[in-house]
Amino acid sequence: MIYGYARVSTSGQDLYGTSLDDQIAVLKQNGAELVYSDAFTGTKMHRPEFDKLMGAIQDGDTLIVTKLDRLGRTSEGIIKLIKDFLKRDITVRVLNMGTIENTPVGRMIVTFLAGFAEFERDLIVERTKAGKEYKKLHDPDYREGRKPAEYDTVLFQAL
């Protein structure tokens, strides 16, 4: 069986071809017979649809993802997951880098790329924190957290 897995961090993520719909279409074009998808942070290794995928995938199956960081955003989690897949003879195809091989070079590449995925996530967190601090200092109306639901309605009516 050929499975696909797509993930975005938030349900509103729709930039640069990374939406769930875009990922799912690409996965199907590349042979995925069944695709699981989550709108959930990659820092957690337990995600609703990902957990279903992990329960369904069998030894000898294939898993396709568009990018390695769709599997997760921590190097430890990604490396552990890939090692488990390789041990179970599950083929892992990462569309922007190729098939991960169970060789010293293949495992080294995963280790490096998983480290970069975590590094990228850490930079996003730092930039977000810095942006919030700046707004707190320069915008007296700034409030932390999500906007109330009625804000969306008012903004939509204004457009």
- In the 8-state DSSP scheme, what is residue 58? -
User: Residue 31: which residues within 8 A CB-CB, separation 6 or more?
Assistant: 2, 62, 64
Cα angle: 125, vertex 129, 132; to 5 degrees = 140
Q: Which residues pair with 74 in a beta bridge?
A: none
Amino acid of residue 132:
K
| Phi, psi dihedral angles at 48 (to 5 degrees) | -50, -55
75 catalytically annotated = no
Cα–Cα nearest to 91, from 81, 103, 83, 101: 101
Among 9, 11, 19, 75, which one carries the catalytic annotation? Answer: 9
Q: What amino acid positions are annotated as catalytic residues? A: 9
